[in-house]
Amino acid sequence: MEERVQLSVLYDFYGALLKENQRRMFEASILEDYNFAEIAEEEGISRQGAYDAIKRAGKQLYDYENKLGLAAKFQKQKKSVQDLKEKLSEMNVSWDSAPWQAVLRVLEEILED
């Protein structure tokens, strides 16, 4: 996975654990695509300070994932649900019945998140 996408996923799981200023700068850099100079100006710090803070935040997110593994577990569960949906689709059953429609709705809801 591209690092920017990976960091974005990790931020979804662990962003609330970062300090407020780290969250602000990380969001500006990774989610809103601001450059370090723009972030530094907004925060009133040096470009190097912005760079260091964002890199530190990214490292913290990776550290949280290495310790807790929530993002990897989520991706694994999502893959399992997708596999289940595909296997159910291969079955020769009538999908018109209410119970099967309910099962499909639940699977779709899980996959949307």
Mean pLDDT by 10 residues, the chain (113 residues): 88 96 95 95 96 96 97 91 83 76 84 74
Supply the range of the domain harboring residue 100: 75-112
Same domain flag for 63 and 24? yes
Q: For the domain that residue 11 is a member of, what is the CATH number?
A: 1.10.10.10
Same domain flag for 26 and 80? no
pLDDT for position 88:
80
Query: Exposed, middle or buried by CB within 10 Å (0-12, 13-18, 19+), for 93?
Result: exposed
Same domain flag for 64 and 105? no
- Structurally, the chain folds into a number of domains equal to 2
Same domain flag for 7 and 46? yes
Give the CA distances from residue 13 to residues 10, 20, 41, in Å, rounded to whole numbers and listed in that order: 5, 15, 28
Same domain flag for 20 and 55? yes
pLDDT for position 85:
80
Look up the pTM and report it.
0.77
Of 32, 53, 68, the domain-final residue = 68
Same domain flag for 80 and 58? no
Spatial distance between the Cα atoms of 38 and 22, rounded to a whole number of angstroms: 15
pLDDT for position 70:
94
pLDDT for position 43:
95
pLDDT for position 34:
96
pLDDT for position 110:
82
pLDDT for position 113:
64
Same domain flag for 50 and 102? no
Same domain flag for 87 and 52? no
Residue 82 and residue 110 in contact, taking contact as beta carbons nearer than 8 Å: no
